[in-house]
Structure 1
Amino acid sequence: MSDTSNADPSLYQSQYGHFINGEWVTGDSGKTIDLMNPFNAQVLSHIAAGNSRDVERAVAAAKNAFGSWSQSSPNERQELLVEIARRLKNRLEDYAMLETLNNGKPLRESLNFDLPQAIGQFELFAGAAYHLHGETLDYPDAIGLVHREPIGVCAQIIPWNVPLLMMASKIAPALAAGNTIVIKPAESVCLSIMEFFREMGDIIPPGVVNVVTGYGADVGEPLVTHPDVRKVAFTGSVPTAQKIMQYASRNIIPQTLELGGKSAQIVCADADLEAAVEGATMSTVLNKGEICLAGSRLFLHESIQEEFLARLKVSLEDIRLGDPARIETQMGPQASVMQRDKVSSYLELGLEEGASVVTGGSRASGAGLDQGNFIQPTIFSDVSNDMRIAQEEIFGPVTCAITFKDEDEVIRLANECNYGLAGGVWTQNIGAAHRIARGMQTGTVWINRYYNLKSGMPIGGYKQSGFGREFCFDVLNHYTITKSVIINLQDGPMGMYAQ
């Protein structure tokens, strides 16, 4: 099939190889993978289907570059990150379109969420380059020096739902800390990332960042098990994370894992219903629900449930589905046929489990939608917290409404879940807001505004949502290692073994 007609084809290449040691190289196997537009099923570009030989080349390049890059000045690292941010800003609309074409997210989201957040990561960590320092400890007879050093070659594996942002949140802190990188993007959605490295290739020192594309079994496993890799950062699903941990155990390397979520969004009796309905709408449809932070368990106080669901029904039925490359579109197609079918299976499961459909509940069809992977924004009511639709991450525009009576009950229900990534509380009572937030076993809680992402605030999970923190300076601890040096100030021998 030909390139899509709703974007300038000069924005991207018809084919990308691997980016290794500052050059674009052909994959060892010669095989390629299609990058698709989920709106119209057209092929956008082709990427290399990598294998272990490609990984070997990339890790060797990263290892070779580590010696000089780890000794680079803070100013050199800062300038690189600042220049990357500047170039992203200059072509913000282009990169937003690439994100939209390959993922299916609405252009309005790419422009106003993905790109600003990605740029913010490079700006945030550019400032960190000068603040990576150790400490001194004074003793009567010694001085202790704690050096903080880059950890080495880092393997980074990122998902398909917010590729540019995930890439930025991985490479920015790793580069600021003086590490070198081999990154594996998702094989289904990575057009924006490939174009990013094509543009940035002239300013990234050779070997400092290397990109190998391909399937997880062919690239991910040999990358994480490579003896020269010193750390792995992964964002994705729990089953894949379990494999990553097994691979990492081969050489005993640390991991940071940002995994799934089934986040509780709690609406109390005194909530601002207009704002809360907007928050529940956004949580359902933003990025088609393909966000691990989504507040997909909607806990409604029994006194406002009926009114809330009536308002939410109207709000979701007004959402404009269509071509994500059009700025007026509010929700696009699921990123792939596989994801569309997965979400559809949960829609069927919800009915089997006894839940009721408030709105949605099936694939969306009609003018301009039939070729795409569209799912109607869906709300299930009559949901009990132990249903699979309330416990498993659907990763689509599907929210489950659950009734509660009081604070104690809703905190208990919110915590009865294997995940703990995010959550929200809607209330005018500041005491209740603090009590509920403190009681929730989750990494982020937003009060009275869902997805209220602020630069520098940690993102990460409890329980099976993973471990480690990103989007904040805490992540620098994951990309560095300490070395203790003790300098003796006491002259002469200790006297324990005097002759």
Structure 2
Amino acid sequence: MATQLRSAENEYGIKSEYGHYIGGEWIAGDSGKTIDLLNPSTGKVLTKIQAGNAKDIERAIAAAKAAFPKWSQSLPGERQEILIEVARRLKARHSHYATLETLNNGKPMRESMYFDMPQTIGQFELFAGAAYGLHGQTLDYPDAIGIVHREPLGVCAQIIPWNVPMLMMACKIAPALASGNTVVLKPAETVCLSVIEFFVEMADLLPPGVINVVTGYGADVGEALVTSPDVAKVAFTGSIATARRIIQYASANIIPQTLELGGKSAHIVCGDADIDAAVESATMSTVLNKGEVCLAGSRLFLHQSIQDEFLAKFKTALEGIRQGDPLDMATQLGAQASKMQFDKVQSYLRLATEEGAEVLTGGSRSDAADLADGNFIKPTVFTNVNNSMRIAQEEIFGPVTSVITWSDEDDMMKQANNTTYGLAGGVWTKDIARAHRIARKLETGTVWINRYYNLKANMPLGGYKQSGFGREFSHEVLNHYTQTKSVVVNLQEGRTGMFDQ
């Protein structure tokens, strides 16, 4: 079961305080105020970061603007070499960054090591090649040649969340850098230790001002960042509520946005599914990153013919999950990333029973004595769930799965699509026609057939409906970081004759 928590904060060279990274320098914030970064497993303070304000943002944007002309004209090989070197350095200190991610986020070390870091490294490798792939276009006419140039946008504002900070940082800055943009990055104020340390190590690679990092509360820096007339684009991953404000801010200067928001994905298991494999996927979807994953298949649609067998195996699997010290490689479920998120998940656990759902397993915080100081919640499954319940419609962002039983495919599809979200989904069946039929009907940006979370390099990821717009994690995102310019070269000599006098 749970292992004794240990303190490792001082073993990894963590500084007592970090500044903003602006114009190639680490500087104190204008306000003089700081924010504590905590270890959610113990409640202890790891370090302090700056509580940024509008003046810090203005300085960062100015640095990014000044760096843009030269960086936008840099050779593809120069940008490629930097991205490859970033990936090389990440590989060299793989376990170090994984540990920082675990210390500040509370996710199990095995996930940081074998999911977060490989995916992070993969983003830099993927977009290193993209520096040479920003193709324009030529069109031939009898009397002209049309040339379409593809050019970087300028200063990009990037706002990333706390659930997978290293991966979110990588999927934002790698394509922005590859396409010749400069960046002002605002990480989450609760979880960003790994990201800040990343820039400590990578600072010598980047020309001053190409990447700038400002920490702080969203309310203090968000509006100044997105409304600046010198910002050409905003990329955001986070909640719908915050996205609405960002869209309003971005309207001040009519700048484009890419938004990757929440999810309430349908994980559909048909009567002919490989039950054992599907149970494993449902277990992973419930506990991976403590359920703090926007892609999570948190609505589990079980065909009634296999419901009893599936739930029995699902219950056994979740009750065998090892919850404990996230730094222990044996741990499979860690602590919610913050007290705020811990309290939110607990409020939904109470709400579920009030709505009439039944607890199959879990349903409360961990009762292990050595986990009492941390934000630990048992993996939880609710049955007797109606799709109209709030626990089936609202994103809980915790280790919680709601089970909905079905028998009629058409009715099930209506329920699966009856949500404001549309980020991901999964289907389990041995019938290839049914698999494709369901996948096409699902109103969602990603569908995994016969293996949930089957993430593959260069596959576009993004949402339908209120899960956002734009695509990331593939070369398709380069369209969001560049704009086109049409140049027409006339080949016909002399006057047209239309206005000859």
Q: TM-score range by the shorter chain?
A: over 0.9
Task: Check the 8 A contact 2:12/2:96 in 1, yes or no.
Answer: no
Amino acid of the structure 1 residue aligned with 2:378: Q
Shift of 1:8: 4.5
**Structure-1 separation of matches of 2:299 and 2:7:** 38
**Structure-2 separation of matches of 1:483 and 1:12:** 46
Give runs of aligned pairs for residues 307-386 of structure 1, distance below 5 A.
307-386=309-388
Residue number in structure 2 paired with 1:269: 271
Shift of 1:219: 1.0
| Structure 2 spans left out of the alignment, 5+ residues | 1-5
3-state SS of paired residue (2:253): coil
Give runs of aligned pairs for residues 124-139 of structure 1, distance below 5 A.
124-139=126-141
3-state SS of paired residue (1:347): helix
**Structure-2 separation of matches of 1:435 and 1:453:** 21
Shift of 1:133: 1.7
**Structure-1 separation of matches of 2:391 and 2:470:** 27
**Structure-1 separation of matches of 2:485 and 2:464:** 29
Give runs of aligned pairs for residues 177-188 of structure 1, distance below 5 A.
177-188=179-190
3-state SS of paired residue (2:453): coil
Residue number in structure 2 paired with 1:198: 200
Task: Check the 8 A contact 1:11/1:94 in 2, yes or no.
Answer: no
Shift of 1:5: 2.3
Residue number in structure 2 paired with 1:247: 249
Residue number in structure 1 paired with 2:153: 151
**Structure-2 separation of matches of 1:160 and 1:368:** 25
Task: Check the 8 A contact 1:258/1:460 in 2, yes or no.
Answer: yes
Residue number in structure 2 paired with 1:233: 235
Q: Is residue 473 of structure 2 the alignment partner of residue 468 of structure 1?
A: no
Amino acid of the structure 2 residue aligned with 1:43: V
**Structure-2 separation of matches of 1:458 and 1:73:** 26
Task: Check the 8 A contact 1:161/1:291 in 2, yes or no.
Answer: yes
Q: Deviations over 1:258-310 (max 9, x none)?
A: 00000000000000000000000000000000000000000000111111111
**Structure-2 separation of matches of 1:130 and 1:244:** 32
Amino acid of the structure 2 residue aligned with 1:406: D
Amino acid of the structure 2 residue aligned with 1:123: E
Residue number in structure 1 paired with 2:412: 410
Task: Check the 8 A contact 2:258/2:470 in 1, yes or no.
Answer: yes
Q: Deviations over 1:138-180 (max 9, x none)?
A: 1111110000000000000000000000000000000000000
Residue number in structure 2 paired with 1:398: 400
3-state SS of paired residue (1:45): strand
**Structure-2 separation of matches of 1:400 and 1:97:** 31
Amino acid of the structure 2 residue aligned with 1:37: N
**Structure-2 separation of matches of 1:10 and 1:90:** 15
Amino acid of the structure 1 residue aligned with 2:472: E
Q: Deviations over 1:85-125 (max 9, x none)?
A: 00000000000000000000000000000000000000000
Residue number in structure 2 paired with 1:21: 23
3-state SS of paired residue (1:419): coil
Give runs of aligned pairs for residues 433-452 of structure 1, distance below 5 A.
433-452=435-454
Residue number in structure 2 paired with 1:89: 91
Give runs of aligned pairs for residues 19-98 of structure 1, distance below 5 A.
19-98=21-100
**Structure-2 separation of matches of 1:12 and 1:137:** 55
**Structure-2 separation of matches of 1:217 and 1:7:** 29
**Structure-2 separation of matches of 1:449 and 1:214:** 38
Q: Deviations over 1:425-459 (max 9, x none)?
A: 01111111100001100000001111000000011
Shift of 1:7: 4.7
Shift of 1:136: 0.4
Shift of 1:484: 0.4
Residue number in structure 2 paired with 1:172: 174
Task: Check the 8 A contact 2:291/2:398 in 1, yes or no.
Answer: yes
Q: Deviations over 1:18-65 (max 9, x none)?
A: 000111011001100000000000000100000000001100000000
Amino acid of the structure 1 residue aligned with 2:24: G
**Structure-2 separation of matches of 1:464 and 1:497:** 52
Residue number in structure 2 paired with 1:142: 144
**Structure-1 separation of matches of 2:420 and 2:7:** 44
Task: Check the 8 A contact 1:7/1:97 in 2, yes or no.
Answer: no
Amino acid of the structure 1 residue aligned with 2:183: I
**Structure-2 separation of matches of 1:409 and 1:460:** 26
Shift of 1:323: 0.6
Shift of 1:413: 1.1
Shift of 1:6: 2.5
Amino acid of the structure 2 residue aligned with 1:293: L
Give runs of aligned pairs for residues 472-487 of structure 1, distance below 5 A.
472-487=474-489
**Structure-2 separation of matches of 1:202 and 1:254:** 31
Amino acid of the structure 1 residue aligned with 2:186: K
Q: Deviations over 1:360-417 (max 9, x none)?
A: 1111121321000011100000001110000000000000000111321221111001
Residue number in structure 1 paired with 2:423: 421
Shift of 1:12: 2.0
Match of 2:302 among 300, 303, 306: 300
Amino acid of the structure 2 residue aligned with 1:76: E
TM-score, length-scaled by structure 2: 0.98
Shift of 1:184: 0.1
Task: Check the 8 A contact 1:11/1:98 in 2, yes or no.
Answer: no
3-state SS of paired residue (2:385): coil
Task: Check the 8 A contact 2:272/2:430 in 1, yes or no.
Answer: yes
3-state SS of paired residue (2:391): helix
3-state SS of paired residue (1:201): helix
Amino acid of the structure 2 residue aligned with 1:281: T
Q: Is residue 288 of structure 2 the alignment partner of residue 286 of structure 1?
A: yes
Relative to structure 2, which stretch is displaced further, 464-473 or 361-370? 361-370
**Structure-2 separation of matches of 1:263 and 1:276:** 15
Identical pairs, percent: 71
Task: Check the 8 A contact 2:380/2:399 in 1, yes or no.
Answer: yes
| Structure 1 spans left out of the alignment, 5+ residues | none
3-state SS of paired residue (2:189): coil
Task: Check the 8 A contact 2:461/2:472 in 1, yes or no.
Answer: yes
Amino acid of the structure 2 residue aligned with 1:202: D
3-state SS of paired residue (2:370): coil
Task: Check the 8 A contact 2:9/2:46 in 1, yes or no.
Answer: no
Shift of 1:11: 3.1
3-state SS of paired residue (1:291): coil
3-state SS of paired residue (2:221): helix
Amino acid of the structure 1 residue aligned with 2:412: V
Amino acid of the structure 2 residue aligned with 1:113: F
